[in-house]
Structure 1
Amino acid sequence: MKTFVWKQKADTPEGITCQLYGTASRVFSQLTLLLGPPGCGKSTLLRALAGQLDKSLKVTGDISYNGYRLDEFVPEKTAAYISQYDLHIPDMTVRETLDFSARCQGVGSRAEILKEVKKREKVAGIIPDHDIDLYMKATITGATEKSLQTDYILKIMGLDICADTMVGDAMRRGISGGQKKRLTTAEMIVGPSKAFFMDEISNGLDSSTTFRIIKCFQQLANINECTMLISLLQPTPEVFDLFDDLILMAQGKIIYHGPRNEAHNFFEECGFRCPERKGMADFLQEVLSRKDQRQYWSGTDESYRYISSDKLSSMFEKYQKRRKLEEATVPHKSELDKESLSFNKYSLPKLELLKACGAREALLIKRNMFVYAFKTVQLSVIAVITMSVFFRTHMTTDLTHANYYMGALYYSMLLLVLNGLPEMSMQVARLPSFYKQKRYYFYPSWAYAIPASILKVPISLLDSIVWICITYYGIGYTATASRFFCQFLILCLLHQSVSSSYRFIASYAQTHILTFFYQFISLAVFLVFGGFVLSKSSMPGWLSWGFWISPLAYAQISMAINEFLAPRWQKETMQTKTIGNQILTNHGLYYNWYFYWISVGALLGYIILFYIAFGLALAYRKPIEYNGSIPRKCCINGQEEEIDIHKKSNDRANMTQEAKMVMPTMQLALTFRNLNYYVDTPKEMLKQGYPARRIQLLNSVTGVFRPGVLTALMGVSGAGKTTLLDVLAGRKTGGYIEGDIRIGGRTKVQETFVRILGYCEQVDMHSPQLTVEESVAYSAWLRLPSKVDEKTKSEFVDEVLKTVELDEIKDALVGRPGMNGLSLEQRKRLTVAVELVSNPSIILMDEPTTGLDARSAAIVIRAVKNISEKGRTVVCTIHQPSTDIFEAFDELILMKNGGKIIYNGPIGKQSCKVIEYFEKISGVPKVERNRNPATWMMDITSPSMEVQFNIDFASTYQESPLHRDRQELVKQLSSPLQNSDGLYFTYRFPQNGWGQFKACLWKQNIIYWRSPQYNLNRMVMTVMLALIFGALFWRRAKILNNEQDLFNVLGAMYMGVIQLGVYNEHSIISFSTTERIVMYREKFAGMYSSWAYSLAQAAIEIPYVFIQAILYTFITYPTIGYYWTAYKLLLFFYAIFCSVLSYIYVGLLLVSVTPNVQVATILGTFFNTMQTLFSGFILPAHQMPKWWIWLYYLGPTSWILNAQLTSQYGNIGKEVNVFGETKTVAVFLNDYFGFHQDRLSIVATVITAFPIVVIILYTLSVEKLNFQKR
């Protein structure tokens, strides 16, 4: 990229105004650093320059690339914006992710470039170097499984050690957070873009790795002549010096833009000076803060006045460099400059794009084979059960059994309709990654949609084959090959049409809850108008059109005429009609044979329609974008406190303020000796030839964390820092642990250890519906001792919020990462606050400063140091500490790859101990003057330097006196002091059971009240279903002439129970999955028992279900025309209430016993299909085989229908004609269904017991099962 010029003003919804002038890269091969505090508009600027801003935003000004405006080429393809959010498919390995990115981005264009280069070489008579020519050809060869380009990027990003490891997510073990961040960057730089806009790419990386990566970027910019604008939060001086230009932002304005080495001149003219041993990047960010600015004032204190960002921006306009920048003009266009730009959206031909997406889809199907196999096995089990229920020896060709055959056909269709439900959650989970890659023009929407649809056809074929092969001859359908294959064709087409509709709905709704909402609306329409629950002839005339829009109706027609027009059903009945014609007429399905092929055409039409709708939704439906929280502006009066990590509070006021922060606690040392941790080698690594069956992640780690001593845990990314903290905290759920861990000299007991532990995990897991203050107050409520009064707790919460500077946004909702709510750095500070407020004796912090700028990191570390000085045992993993932050720690444990310790000891004043230790090692260079000792230490101990120095730092440490001293200290502190009491608590939890329940219920109440997508949607769904059923079954409750009329009424009851129940069950599955991850953290922290959490979850549902039951009852009861007596009305209402509650509790139970939404949905489908089969609607109890009758009594649905139908008609003596006989309604209920009026009290008791039993099972599952893999 030769030149890059902008002059822009962007007004965003958040109120950020950017007024930017100048060039990001005036000449070839330069790097520009973008600095500024979080929330200043850096991401908005980067997105604007990359052409990634939402088109709906009001943007004025000009941006040009080599003289070309953004509308004259494809900026999304020319430039790459690398987001701070890591959006990847967890089922792919690192190498597969990069290979796919390289294939979509650059293979085609590089091939064209090479072709053009060879053409010009031939004209100029140039013979290329053989090795270079070979490399060029290798990097563009798409057929190579592991291209050189991918290997090159893996190497420079330090991802080669985890190339064949799954990416993973919050529930599945994968690569580390730092590796995931590097993968996000690598995914874009593997392509051919010439301009890169990188947003906080160093979060989670150590300073050495960051330096190496930026150094590689510098070389990449020089070699490939790229323009790079990189946003960093805490660049070390060494990283800072790698950049050529600097942009400094604050409050959406440019404070400085020019050469990096001249920034200090500008601020000296403004009256500020960077102190010695202070990193320039830290100084530039802190000097913008009202709280920190005074300490950098070079004049007298009396002459100091706070200089705002607006004032600094105005001063920059007058600065000499500013005037030079304004003279920059947009360069003239030229054909040479044009070559750096992309004018095509996609790098590959359409067929190649389709192949790439198809190969990835096939890979993902393979990776999710467990889900598909589990689903097929489940289908086989249900098929066997269904076959045995409708077994052919029990079925004859008469009118009564013809009705059972019709029920079997309906059940077959219903099962295949529900069998596709897991497809929705899988599709929703992949949408964030899809939208990211679509935005970068990896591929068009159709290239993603076609393989996602077509490659699922074999699955539909397999499921249909499995079902029909087991059930067709077992049930006893007409035994001819033609009718067998005709039924198979219809089932396959139905399965595919409904599955394709699910994919369309998922792509349109984009969230699990909305997806299930829209899906169940469509499912209700499909089923109600399908022709079985209510025959077409019984539908109101003004709604008969609904029959023809349901795919289920066409499937019902074709399968019914395929079976009942067979010769064996042509015996005449008493009405001079054949049995086949009679049953078809009764159900409104009497059509000629040619309608079978019309139905086939209709189902094919639905498949094509939903395929197209799926593609259009992906192409034109906008993704849910991130909408962060904006802190309210506060007027700050008077002088404010400076940020000085080493500052001591001597005056009484400050001492009082600090005293609030610390409550009395036990002082305990944490020791660990010869700690080893192994995990099984991943299958992908074994396939690559890795010899060992286990990988050792910790290798004989010995150390101690002491009270009052602030310890830093450092090492390169992937060295085992998080693993060590997880093992010490007892968070590992798998693997093999060896060694000794002691607390206060006594063997660690996990149940008591969590009471005095605060663990800030690397992944910030919080309930999105709570505010910042509520999240911290909830932690204090459940984790502080019960003897602490409410006023003290409240003051303590306020003080913690002020300490981590969250008090200004304490009323902001936490929100969901990458979607809404708090930014990454605000979430990190919230994680710290939630643990600090528990007043722990031992605090383990995993990267508490990652994602924070230098000033915010200093705030957190100062708070942590103050707490440590009061006798707490505190250890923090840190990656890129400034000199001030590093020297705020007292001791250091430094680790290398393989989980080995290479330094364990004191840091010393101005890092003298660390420097002295490493400088004594032969070959290690001396530290330069004013260099950050932490960065120097990480540089000299990096794997590449170990090779260069021919030193194994781990072995050197093992042989050092420092190691022997540490061993002796560990041995000394591993024995309890004389007359010291062990770690003991009278009760397991800080709060009693009632207190835990109240706290959990308080939180659940807030979560539910602030979740309209869940609660409002289910109320709307209840009203919609009630209106649909009321309209379809209008006044049919008292029209009783024959058995079909009674079946219609039972159908209305059945549809209400099943539809409401299934919708609520699946909604709670997707809704509670998010909260489950938070529950795992809170439960580990010992905040509450499983009983308190489960009972609160159960209790909060009751009022909402009560409202649903009222809405449904008072809409359907008068419209369908049930009997108006208080007894019948109340029992009807109570049955609906218990029904919905039971299904919701079943959904919670399914979440607790399964690892993810997909498996929970599959098991939910099994439960629901079993409920349908054994509900008594499709087949009455007396017709069920004796070996399955227990399932009839085990499920809630049959009892609910019993209660509703018997309460309405159990005492009705009206005579009706049923199956050629005349009986009273009450007698028919007794004879056909086995329902008795005098047993209603037993039925009411049973339906009350169901939700109670299920919630007990749910509680036991929460207590015993944990599917988080760590």
Structure 2
Amino acid sequence: MMPPEHETRITGCPAIVLANNRTDNISVYAESIGSASNVSPCLDDEMPIQEKPTPVRFSVLRESLRPVTLRFEDVAYSINLRTTKDSFLCTSAAEAKPTRTILTGVSGIVRPGELLSMLGPSGSGKTTLLTALAGRLPGKVSGTITYNGQPFSSSMKRKTGFVSQDDVLYPHLTVLETLTFAALLRLPKKLTKEEKIEQAELIIIELGLTRCRNSVVGGPLFGGVSGGERKRVSIGQEMLVNPSLLLLDEPTSGLDSTTAQRIVATLRGLAHGGRTVIMTIHQPSSRLYRMFDKVVVLSEGCPIYSGNAGRVIEYFGSLGFVPGFNFMNPADFLLDLANGVAPDTKHDDQHESHGRPDHHEDQNSIKQSLISSYRKNLYPAVKDEIHRSCRDAVRPATGPSPSRTCENQWTTSWWMQFKVLLERGLKERKHESYSCLRIFQVMSVSILSGLLWWHSDTSHIQDQVGLLFFFSIFWGFFPMFSAIFTFPQERPMLTRERSSGMYKLSSYYFARMAGDLPMELVLPTIFVIVTYWMGGLKPSIVNFTLTLLIILFNVLVAQGLGLALGAILMEVKQATTLASVTMLVFLLASGYYIQHIPPFIAWLKYISFSHYCYKLLVGVQYSENELYECGRGGHCRVLDFPAINYLGIDNMVWDVVALAVMFVGYRVLAYVALRMGQPK
């Protein structure tokens, strides 16, 4: 316990002081915990100077901020454990416990102007609870979660900001570009483009990102802004819409103490601006803890405390749990209790207790005791506060509910979403599509193949046919394996932005397809220009143009197959393995290596896009009356050459139709797979 003369300030308000004298009657204290949380938020000028954040100004969206009171009562969540036949050693355990309980009976209330922090050990359910409060948790969540007395809706989703623990950002975009594109997508239609850009500039100033506004965000493969700046960019993306409810998962993870304090001070200032802010945090310092208005402490998914942050020492002291020394960090004290470690034995008997067989039993008994005490003492007060706030809430004026009138509306039109996503995609992907390594790969293969087939002619028709087959295979493998990575890599970004209601999946998909044209077709064009003329193929502009168009069409078909495989499996290793097997089958069934395929398996060539591309390339290159040297001085028709005669190039219209069907079919399949795996 702290000395009697020490006073704890609540939420930084000098007018509100808690004396640390012990409360013997727990029930009387529990009844007062709800009223203590009704204290008005501190004004900026009442906060300590080192914790006073810059007030956030939202000149163009100030009228859109509508306070949100979040209430959650008896929230529980369980997941099904997957059982496999291979794990026969664990079958009995899996059958005994088919589900795992993540959350049990968590309750609380957060009002506008309050900063709620969720504390607990790793695996205690903090992130699960935060995701449930954000309306993003898959499966069924039992209990009641309301926003101003209403369930979660699409309009509420657009008033909610959610910042995940991992910063999901495009690495090649600058800070300004990142926030500008987010503003163009998320801000309402009534604002002009200039006003949206102004809002992005304002966020940069308010979050202290002016110094790095033109720096790239960076990623794991190359440097960019610092970790704290990345976190502020993530927060800035959500603050663009001036959210009424802001939820953050571990916003101080991986940051130093000073940067973490700046982040939390910023969040506290946002809360005091009239927003409801909820965050999870693993192990805050005492400076950070003093900024919290309320805390929820979880132990194995069960609450052991929910209420005012400044009264935790007093509450647990009334239960007989007193900090080991006077100036102990309250967060460390709470985490010890959540782990079942009593503070009076933690330092003295730590080494001996780890060796006792009943050590875990002691921890479990402490956890169960704290959970039971919460249910007996705090839970009635928290529940009474929730119900009392529901009764005291001001009823909305008569008329159509905003949540219903805006249920199916998007902040921007489909065409605007398409244009912004296309521009953003081109800016981001040009660094990958035109990287030095990729250009070197294509150019080295192009020059090498041109040298190997240097000025070949019909006297070496087998070599020429081999070059055409190489065209179809190389520009089947290369674009397909590049496209496999597309959706698995963009899945975190797509999930986050779609969950925020930024755009429709169709606008993203069509913008992606349109952006592929300049990104994926430039290098094949350069490849054909170099290799075609070096390889000695027919020196005709018409033949060259048709050859180029066929290869570009083949590139788009192969890319569509790669997109479909990546979208269906969403796992790079599995998709790569399946693509390797698929391309091997297409390679063997294309008609170059094997010309007499058994009838029962000959159907494979009809599903191989390489087969159709190969046929078209050969058909364009050679005319019906063209001859080649066969035998000693003899001449034979090119179409009678065995490898060409087997292909049957007399009717190429159906080959074009087959490639067109594959082009459309693969992309439709990819879109359907994305639609099934993404939120509505």
Give distance in 2, aligned partners of 1:1145 and 1:889: 50
- The alignment status of 1:992 with 2:413, answered yes or no, reads yes
Partner of 2:585: 1170
User: Any conservation in 2 of the 1:662–1:867 contact (CA below 8 Å)?
Assistant: no
TM-score, structure 1 length as denominator? 0.44
Are 2:306 and 1:904 aligned? Answer: yes
Whichever residue aligns with residue 1086 of structure 1, its letter is G
2:611 corresponds to which of 1191, 1198, 1202: 1198
Task: Indicate the residue corresponding to 1:1157 in structure 2.
Answer: 572
Q: Which moved more, 1:883-892 or 1:943-952?
A: 943-952
Q: Identify the match of residue 664 of structure 2 among 1252, 1257, 1266.
A: 1252
State the one-letter code of the partner of 2:143.
G
Contact 2:458 2:629 in 1 (8 A): no
The amino acid that maps onto 1:1010 is: H
The alignment partner of 1:1035 has SS state of coil
Task: Write out aligned runs for 1:684-695 (5 A).
Answer: 686=90, 692-695=97-100
Tell me the C-alpha RMSD between the 2 structures.
Answer: 3.6
Cα deviation 1:670-698 (Å, max 9, x = unaligned): 33332222234577894896853332111
How far, CA to CA, are the matches of 2:92 and 2:49 in structure 1?
A: 51
Q: Could you tell me whether the CA contact under 8 Å between 1:864 and 1:874 is conserved in 2?
A: yes
In 2, Cα distance between equivalents of 1:1154 and 1:666: 41
Q: Counterparts of 1:368-767 in structure 2 under 5 Å?
A: 644=49, 647=52, 657=57, 662=62, 664-681=64-81, 686=90, 692-733=97-138, 737-749=141-153, 751-767=154-170
DSSP-derived class of the 2:501 partner: coil
Contact 2:487 2:570 in 1 (8 A): no
For residues 611-648 of structure 1, give each alpha carbon's deviation from its aligned partner in whole angstroms, at most 9, with x where no partner exists.
xxxxxxxxxxxxxxxxxxxxxxxxxxxxxxx9847648
| Residue identity matched to 2:258 | R
1:1208 — aligned with what?
A: 621
Picking from 948, 953, 956, the partner of 2:373 is 956
Match of 1:799 among 202, 215, 220: 202
Question: Matches of 1:1038 and 1:942 in 2, distance apart?
Answer: 80
Return the alpha-carbon distance in structure 1 between the equivalents of residues 536 and 422 of structure 2. 39
Partner AA of 2:342 in structure 1 = M
Conservation of the 8 A alpha-carbon contact between 1:997 and 1:1095:
yes
Gaps of 5+ in 2: 10-46, 344-361
Give the partner amino acid of 1:745. G
Partner of 2:271: 868
Matches within 5 A, 1:894-973: 894-896=297-299, 898-907=300-309, 911=310, 913-921=311-319, 923-925=320-322, 932-940=329-337, 942-945=339-342, 947=362, 952-960=369-377, 962-971=378-387
CA–CA distance in structure 2, aligned partners of residues 885 and 671 of structure 1: 24
Which residue of structure 1 aligns with residue 646 of structure 2?
Answer: 1232
List aligned pairs for 1:108-507, cutoff 5 A.
none
Q: In structure 2, which of residues 471, 474, 484 is the aligned counterpart of residue 1059 of structure 1?
A: 474
Deviations, residues 451-497 of structure 1 (Å, cap 9, x unaligned): xxxxxxxxxxxxxxxxxxxxxxxxxxxxxxxxxxxxxxxxxxxxxxx
Distance (Å, rounded) in 2 between the aligned partners of 1:1076 and 1:1204? 37
Q: 1:761 to 1:890 in 2, by over 3 A?
A: same
Q: CA deviation at 1:1137?
A: 0.9
Q: Letter of the aligned partner of 1:1200 in structure 2?
A: C
Alignment CA distance shift 1:938-1:1016 (3 Å): closer
Aligned partners of 1:766, 1:789: CA distance in 2, in Å? 25
Q: 1:1102 to 1:759 in 2, by over 3 A?
A: same
Q: Cα–Cα, structure 1 residues 645 and 723, in superposed 2: closer, same or farther, change >3 Å?
A: farther
SS in 2 for 1:718: coil
CA deviation after TM superposition for structure 1 residue 1164, in Å: 0.7
Give the whole-Å Cα distance in 1 for the aligned partners of 2:534 and 2:382: 81
Q: Describe the superposition over 1:586-611 as per-residue Cα deviations: whole angstroms up to 9, x where unpaired.
A: xxxxxxxxxxxxxxxxxxxxxxxxxx
The CA distance in 2 between the partners of 1:1091 and 1:658, in whole Å, is 31
- Answer whether contact 2:461 2:628 (CA < 8 A) is retained: no
**Corresponding residue SS for 2:103:** strand
Q: Is residue 1088 of structure 1 aligned with residue 508 of structure 2?
A: no
* Aligned partners of 1:714 and 1:721 also within 8 Å: yes
Q: Deviations over 1:843-900 (max 9, x none)?
A: 111111223333323332233233223332210112343445333332222212x211
Q: Distance in 2 between matches of 1:746 and 1:1266?
A: 25
Instruction: Name the aligned partner's letter for residue 375 of structure 2.
Output: Q
Partner of 1:408: none
- Deviation, 1:1153, is 1.3
CA distance, structure 2, for counterparts of residue 1232 and residue 1217 of structure 1: 18
AA aligned to 2:318 is K
Task: Give the SS at the match of 1:697.
Answer: strand
Structure 1 contact 711–876 (Cα < 8 Å) conserved = yes
Q: Taking structure 1 as reference, are residues 1118 and 679 closer, same or farther at Cα in structure 2, changes over 3 Å only?
A: same
Contact preservation (8 Å) 1:643, 1:859: no
**Cα distance in 2 between the residues matched to 1:1063 and 1:643:** 60
Q: Secondary structure at the match of 1:952?
A: helix
CA–CA distance in structure 2, aligned partners of residues 1146 and 1184 of structure 1:
24
Query: Is residue 1264 from structure 1 mapped to residue 667 from structure 2 by the alignment?
Result: no
Which protein, 1 or 2, shows the higher relative CO under an 8 Å CA cutoff with sep ≥ 6?
2
Contact 2:488 2:570 in 1 (8 A): no
Asked which structure has the greater CA Rg, the reply is 1
Percent identity reads 25
Aligned AA (1:1233)? L
1:1098 alignment partner in structure 2: 513
**Separation of aligned partners in 2, 1:807 and 1:1047:** 64
State the alpha-carbon separation in 2 of the partners of residues 1090 and 1187 from structure 1. 41
Report the TM-score, using the length of structure 2 for normalisation.
Answer: 0.79
Give the deviation of 1:1197 after TM superposition: 1.5
What is the aligned counterpart of 1:1130 among 545, 558, 565? 545
The answer on whether the counterparts of 2:53 and 2:269 sit within 8 Å (CA) in structure 1 is no
Return the letter of the residue paired with 2:440: V
Residue 1148 in structure 1 maps to residue 563 in structure 2: yes
Deviation at 1:1165, TM superposition (A): 0.9
**What is the count of residue pairs matched by the alignment?**
607
Q: Deviations over 1:125-157 (max 9, x none)?
A: xxxxxxxxxxxxxxxxxxxxxxxxxxxxxxxxx
The correspondence of residues 43-62 of structure 1 with structure 2, limited to 5 A, is none
Task: Summarize deviations over 1:897-936 as a string: whole Å, max 9, x none.
Answer: x2111222233xxx2x434433332x13279666544444
2: CA distance between counterparts of 1:661 and 1:276? 40
Alpha-carbon deviations, 1:1044-1100, whole Å to 9, x = none? x44432211111221232123223334664333322322222222222222222222
> Counterparts of 1:1260 and 1:1253 in 2: how far apart (Å)?
11
CA apart distance, 1:979: 4.3
How far the C-alpha of 1:796 sits from its partner, in A, is 2.4
Gaps of 5+ in 1: 1-236, 238-274, 279-641, 1040-1044
Query: Are 2:267 and 2:277, in contact at CA under 8 Å, matched by a contact in 1?
Result: yes
Assess if the C-alpha contact under 8 Å between 1:769 and 1:1011 holds in 2: no
Question: Match for residue 839 of structure 1?
Answer: 242
Deviations 1:423-454 (A, max 9, x none): xxxxxxxxxxxxxxxxxxxxxxxxxxxxxxxx
**2:548 alignment partner, SS class:** helix
Corresponding residue for 1:1007? 428
Taking a change above 3 Å as real, the CA distance of residues 927 and 1165 of structure 1, as seen in their structure-2 partners, is: closer
Q: Distance in 1 between matches of 2:286 and 2:439?
A: 57
Q: Which residue is equivalent to 1:1031?
A: 451
- CA distance in 1 between counterparts of 2:613 and 2:672 reads 26
Per the alignment, residue 340 of structure 1 pairs with none
Partners of 1:1159 and 1:662 in 2: CA distance: 48
For the Cα contact (< 8 Å) 1:796–1:837, is it kept in 2?
yes
Which amino acid counterpart does residue 647 of structure 2 have in structure 1?
A: F
1:1112 equivalent to 2:541? Answer no
Write the distance in 1 (CA, Å) between the matches of 2:273 and 2:420: 29
* Paired residues of 1:698 and 1:899 also in contact (CA < 8 A): yes
- Once residues 1034 and 1225 of structure 1 are traced to their aligned partners in structure 2, the CA distance between those partners, rounded to angstroms, is 20
Counterpart amino acid of residue 780 in structure 1: A
Q: 1:746 to 1:1047 in 2, by over 3 A?
A: farther
**421, 439, 449: which one aligns with 1:1019:** 439
